[in-house]
Amino acid sequence: MKNLLIALFALILSCASASAQDTPVQDLLQEHRALIEKSSRKTIGPAIDALARSGLPQMQTVLEAWQAKEIWQRQADGLFFRAEEIDRTTLNLFDLDSGADLGPTPDEDFKQLKPNSGIRAMIGTALVQFQLSDPDPAKRRDALIAIERDPESSLLAPLRASIDSEQDAAIAAQKRRLERLLTIGYDADSAARIAAINDMAGDLGLDVRATLNPLTSSKIMVVSGDVPAEWNVAETLKPGSEDLPAAEAYALLVAGGDALPRIDDDDIRAALIANIQGGSVGGVPVHELDNDDARLTAYAALAEAGVVPATATDADIDDRLAEYTFVRVYDETDPAITTAVEEALKSIEVKVGLNQTLDLTLDALSLASIYFLAAIGLAITFGVMGVINMAHGEFIMMGAYTGYVVQQFVPNHTLSIIIAIPLAFAVTFAAGVLMERLVIRWLYNRPLETLLATFGISIALQQLAKNIFGTQARPLTSPAWLDGSWVMNDIVSISYIRIAIFVLALIFLCVFLFIMKRTRLGLETRAVTQNPRMAASMGINPNRVNMLTFGLGSGIAGIAGVAIGLFAKVTSELGSDYIVQSFMTVVVGGVGNIWGTLAGAAMIGFLQKGIEWFNPSNTLAAQTYMIIFIIIFIQFRPRGIIALKGRAAGD
């Protein structure tokens, strides 16, 4: 019996020993229990690192549960469990080592670990090495994002190890790029770092520049003798130069304890006043302290007596600066690496400049297409017919509001735009015909009266729009396929809406040329424009042609309003934002010439973007300078860029 009890006791001990040996996760957590319970971002790092580097296969699940606030600690013995809340008072526990379901238990003896955002971010970084090879592509992408956000040298090896087994081509490319960047920043092999730098030279990615720029960081060092050979010297600085003012150089000596501080004049005066004794200071009568030399002499006497701190004179400063060498030293100690980085950054800088030029050009083309689209209708009414229509902007506004109204009845944005374009043309065409029949037809060849009448109509249409739609901006939503931008690289991009407007402007250019060159209306319009009486004698009705031509210009303005409303605010003042630019486009390009309108739009668009590039913070100033330039331009070329020739030009 005694032997049986001994054997049973030994069996219990062996089971307990086996159980202890089979709980490596729990043992590790208990080892760092104090840090985990404290849960401070400043001290939790060693505990997280120990868990991540343990090599235990269960650790990914443990860290993910900790990050998700699913780890609970039993107060009685301090053991940790993963738990799911069944209700407010009951938990379902899971063993961290085996993952076994331990069943429901009351939560009264358990405390939840609630890591703050900072600790969760640290856990996320630790999870990266597990997630890089996770079967879930989303987790692998999250791991790469975590590395980009918080790169570390310890992540380079697991990142490299995960590249060959990566099946997703996009993720593999992202891994290879990130591996090159981490190699540049953290690899211990200089040759590997230089090779990675050369691989990324010329790459326009912001992440590349963010990796290379820190390697060029430097600090100014001061040495009294020869410069140490181990220093990676960027340049030698001369005190008093633009790169190193004398005051800054001397301040470095003072900070290093190699020179006396320079006491400023106000402090010297205050010290002298505080130490006046018997009508003198430092043996110098007060009435003689009316110049700098006397004050310095008195202060030096006080300093020698230990009453005030000593100060350096100009001569002292010059002598001390001459005794030292000032050099700018790279923080990176390997000269080959800094040389490779400087060459790579120069290559990138050249490409950045070229791509910034390309981006500015695309912006200018986009703006020019908007101005051309807004002005093409005016090119007909003003350029061809000679009618100064100040209400042209309101036709643009009417087109934009037509698109808004259509979208209230047709929720599909693609279909609504398809419907809105011809409907906007019809609405503004009808409004233009009505305006021409009621007002314009009585004012031909009377430009001042036409200007005043159309200006009044402009104000009336704005007020009508306010009464109907209110003063708040109305949304004109673009189709989903026009969302986003065409991104060429980190520098060059252009929105799909602007590309669509550019294409629309080209389409209208072709349509206008076809109408004016290949249709009867175009032929009759050109005939009436050049000689109304002769055209009438040939059987052409000038009144009908003028009406249709004015309606055509107004209809095109309505379509332009739909396009402009996709990216601009749709308000009653929408048209007034473009009427000035539209007139400038037509006048600068050449009145009565569609190619001139195109050239004028290009000139104004490029000019405005160029001025904004020099002064990007003040667009109002850019428009002011643009108007001044155009006024000067017209003085030298009053007929515009492409002037009409022949009898029409004389008219």
Query: Which ranges in 413-495 belong to alpha helices (H)?
Result: 413-438, 447-469
Report how many domains make up the chain. Answer: 4
Q: Using the 3D structure, point to which of 83, 98, 120 is the last residue of a domain.
A: 120
Q: 72 with 161, same domain?
A: no
Closest CA to 512 of 566, 584, 593, 586: 593
Q: According to the model, what pLDDT value does residue 422 have?
A: 92
Domain for residue 396, yes or no? yes
Q: According to the model, what pLDDT value does residue 644 have?
A: 55
Domain for residue 335, yes or no? no
Q: According to the model, what pLDDT value does residue 643 have?
A: 61
Q: According to the model, what pLDDT value does residue 625 have?
A: 78
Q: At CA 508, angle to CA 554 and CA 603, rounded to 5?
A: 95
- Distance separating alpha carbons of residues 402 and 377, to the nearest angstrom: 17
Backbone dihedral angles phi then psi of residue 241, each to the nearest 5 degrees: -85, 175
Backbone dihedral angles phi then psi of residue 285, each to the nearest 5 degrees: -55, 145
Q: 425 with 295, same domain?
A: no
Terminal-residue alpha carbon distance, the chain: 132
Please report the sign of the dihedral spanned by the C-alpha atoms of residue 620, residue 621, residue 622, residue 628: positive
Q: 205 with 225, same domain?
A: no
- C-beta of residue 406 within 8 angstroms of C-beta of residue 423: yes
Closest CA to 469 of 458, 477, 459, 461: 461
Please report the sign of the dihedral spanned by the C-alpha atoms of residue 417, residue 418, residue 424, residue 427: negative
Q: According to the model, what pLDDT value does residue 405 have?
A: 92
Domain for residue 507, yes or no? yes
- Distance separating alpha carbons of residues 279 and 270, to the nearest angstrom: 16
Q: According to the model, what pLDDT value does residue 617 have?
A: 60
Q: According to the model, what pLDDT value does residue 343 have?
A: 92
Domain for residue 185, yes or no? yes
Residue by residue, what is the 3-state secondary structure of 544-571?
Answer: HHHHHHHHHHHHHHHHHHHHHHCCCCEC
Q: Using the 3D structure, point to which of 191, 216, 241 is the last residue of a domain.
A: 216
Determine how many CB atoms are found less than 10 A away from the CB of residue 465.
23
- C-beta of residue 387 within 8 angstroms of C-beta of residue 450: yes
What is this structure's pTM? 0.66
Please report the sign of the dihedral spanned by the C-alpha atoms of residue 25, residue 30, residue 31, residue 34: positive
Domain for residue 262, yes or no? yes
Q: 238 with 303, same domain?
A: yes
Question: CB neighbours of 371 closer than 8 A, spacing ≥ 6?
Answer: 578, 581, 582, 585, 601, 604, 605
Amino acid identity of residue 458, one-letter, is S
Q: 234 with 308, same domain?
A: yes
Q: In 3-state terms, what secondary structure has residue 264?
A: coil
- Distance separating alpha carbons of residues 625 and 618, to the nearest angstrom: 11
Q: 410 with 558, same domain?
A: yes
Q: In 3-state terms, what secondary structure has residue 532?
A: helix
Closest CA to 469 of 407, 551, 511, 524: 407
Domain for residue 74, yes or no? yes
Residue by residue, what is the 3-state secondary structure of 24-49?
Answer: HHHHHHHHCHHHHHHCCCCCCHHHHH
Q: 104 with 162, same domain?
A: no
In DSSP notation, 376-433 reads: HHHIIIIIIT----TTHHHHHHHHHHHHHHHHHH---HHHHHHHHHHHHHHHHHHHHH
Strands (E), 230-342: 233-237, 280-281, 284-285, 325-330
* CA-atom Rg of the chain in angstroms: 40
Domain for residue 538, yes or no? yes
Domain for residue 109, yes or no? yes
Determine how many CB atoms are found less than 10 A away from the CB of residue 515.
17
Q: Using the 3D structure, point to which of 198, 216, 234 is the last residue of a domain.
A: 216
- Distance separating alpha carbons of residues 113 and 119, to the nearest angstrom: 11
Q: According to the model, what pLDDT value does residue 383 have?
A: 63
Q: 312 with 194, same domain?
A: no
Q: 594 with 512, same domain?
A: yes
Amino acid identity of residue 146, one-letter, is A
Amino acid identity of residue 406, one-letter, is V
Closest CA to 431 of 552, 342, 581, 256: 552
- Distance separating alpha carbons of residues 582 and 247, to the nearest angstrom: 57
Backbone dihedral angles phi then psi of residue 23, each to the nearest 5 degrees: -125, 60
Q: 375 with 308, same domain?
A: no
Q: 455 with 549, same domain?
A: yes
DSSP state of 648: H
What CATH number should be reported for the domain holding residue 486?
1.10.3470
Going from the first residue of the chain to its last (651 residues), give the mean pLDDT of each consecutive group of 10, the final group possibly shorter.
42 38 82 87 86 82 87 89 88 88 88 88 80 84 85 84 87 91 89 91 86 90 86 88 86 82 80 79 77 78 79 79 88 90 90 88 87 82 76 90 91 89 93 90 82 90 90 85 82 86 86 83 78 80 84 88 86 84 81 79 85 70 76 79 53 46
Q: According to the model, what pLDDT value does residue 10 have?
A: 39
* Share of residues in the chain with pLDDT > 70 (%): 93
**What residues make up the domain containing 75?**
2-120
Q: 644 with 495, same domain?
A: yes
- C-beta of residue 610 within 8 angstroms of C-beta of residue 557: no
